[in-house]
C-alpha cells in the first residue's frame, strides 16, 4: 500500500507502470495506474540453492521457537544434503576450516559476519564497531580476490547485517554476540542495549541473526566466544544438531 500511495502522489503518476506478482493485485485494486501482474516476479520461493527452504525452517526453529529437537532433525537433513553448519568456540579454528575448505577454489568467497549491536565481540577478535565497519567497502569485500587486502577472504574485517542482507558468501563465519543469547531456556536481549523507536526489540535481534545465519550457500561456521554469558547458547546450538569443529 505504501508503494501505491507513493506512486499515486508522485508529480506524474501517469508516467509509472507497475509490474509485480499476482499477490499484489489487490493492493492496486481500483487504481488508475498501468499494471502488469506476472507470476515469475513472485519471490515467495528461494532459488539460491535447493536446500534454502529447509535452512529457513531451521533458522525459524532456532530463533523463533527455540526448539532444539526440531532443529536437530533439520540440521541432520541439511548436513546429509551437503549444507554444513558447524559451531566452535575458537575463532582461529573457524578461519582455518574456511581456508582449508576452499584452498583449491580461489573463486570461492568466505567471510566474517557479526551483529552490529553486540558490544563484546571486539574483545574476541571480531571488530564489529561502528567506526570500523562504516569504512567497509562492500563491493570489494565480496568480490576482491583472496590476496587483496580488502577481500572478505582475509577474515580480518567484519560485515554486519547491514552489509550482508541480500548478499551471499560460499561460507559464512558468524560471530555470535551476547546481544542475543540463551538464558534459562529462552532468548535474551538483556545485553543488547536499548534500540530507539523499536516496537519489538526481541524480534529485531531475531531478524539480525536470521540474516546472518542464511548468508552461506555451502554452509555456516558459528563462532561462540568463550564467554560465560554465551555458554548456554553454545550448548543449545550443539543440542540442535550443529556439529562441533575440533579446536
| pLDDT tens digits along 17-30 | 899 888 888 888 88
- Give the residue from 60, 68, 89 showing the smallest Cα distance to 241: 68
CB 115 within 8 A of CB 160: yes
CB 174 within 8 A of CB 111: no
CB 158 within 8 A of CB 175: yes
Query: Is this structure's pTM higher than 0.85?
Result: no
State the Cα–Cα distance between residues 141 and 146, nearest whole angstrom: 10
For 113, phi and psi rounded to 5 degrees? -120, 150
Flag whether pLDDT at 110 surpasses 60.
yes
Flag whether pLDDT at 14 surpasses 90.
no
| pLDDT tens digits along 43-88 | 554 444 556 678 999 999 999 999 999 999 999 999 998 899 999 9
Structural domain boundaries in the chain: 2-41, 52-244
What is the pLDDT averaged over residues 112-124?
A: 96
The mean of the pLDDT values for the chain is 91
SS (HEC) of 174-238? EECCCCCEEECCEEECCCCCCCCCCCCHHHHHHHHHHHHCCCEEEEEEEECCCCHHHHHHHHHHH
What is the pLDDT averaged over residues 83-108?
A: 96
Amino acid at each position: 500500500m505504501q508503494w501505491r500511495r507513493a506512486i499515486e502522489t508522485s508529480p506524474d503518476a501517469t508516467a509509472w507502470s507497475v509490474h509485480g506478482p499476482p499477490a499484489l493485485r489487490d493492493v492496486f485494486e481500483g487504481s488508475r495506474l498501468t499494471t502488469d501482474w506476472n507470476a515469475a516476479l513472485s519471490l515467495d520461493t528461494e532459488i539460491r540453492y535447493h536446500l534454502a527452504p529447509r535452512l529457513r525452517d531451521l533458522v525459524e526453529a532456532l530463533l523463533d521457537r527455540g526448539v532444539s529437537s526440531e532443529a536437530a532433525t533439520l540440521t541432520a537433513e541439511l548436513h546429509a544434503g551437503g549444507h554444513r553448519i558447524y559451531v566452535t568456540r575458537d575463532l582461529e579454528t573457524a578461519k582455518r576450516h574456511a581456508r582449508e575448505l576452499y584452498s583449491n577454489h580461489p573463486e570461492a568467497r568466505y567471510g566474517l559476519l557479526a551483529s552490529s549491536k553486540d558490544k563484546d565481540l571486539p574483545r574476541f577478535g571480531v571488530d564489529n564497531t561502528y567506526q570500523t565497519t562504516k569504512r567497509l567497502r562492500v563491493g570489494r569485500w565480496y568480490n576482491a580476490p583472496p590476496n587483496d587486502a580488502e577481500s572478505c577472504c582475509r577474515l580480518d574485517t567484519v560485515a554486519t547485517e547491514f552489509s550482508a542482507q541480500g548478499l551471499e558468501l560460499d561460507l559464512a563465519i558468524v560471530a555470535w554476540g551476547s546481544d542475543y543469547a540463551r538464558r534459562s531456556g529462552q532468548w535474551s536481549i538483556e545485553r543488547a542495549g536499548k534500540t530507539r523507536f523499536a516496537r519489538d526489540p526481541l524480534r529485531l535481534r531475531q531478524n539480525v541473526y536470521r540474516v546472518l545465519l542464511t548468508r552461506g550457500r555451502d554452509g555456516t561456521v558459528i563462532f561462540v566466544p568463550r564467554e560465560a554469558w554465551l555458554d548456554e547458547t553454545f550448548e543449545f546450538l550443539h543440542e540442535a544438531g550443529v556439529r562441533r569443529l575440533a579446536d
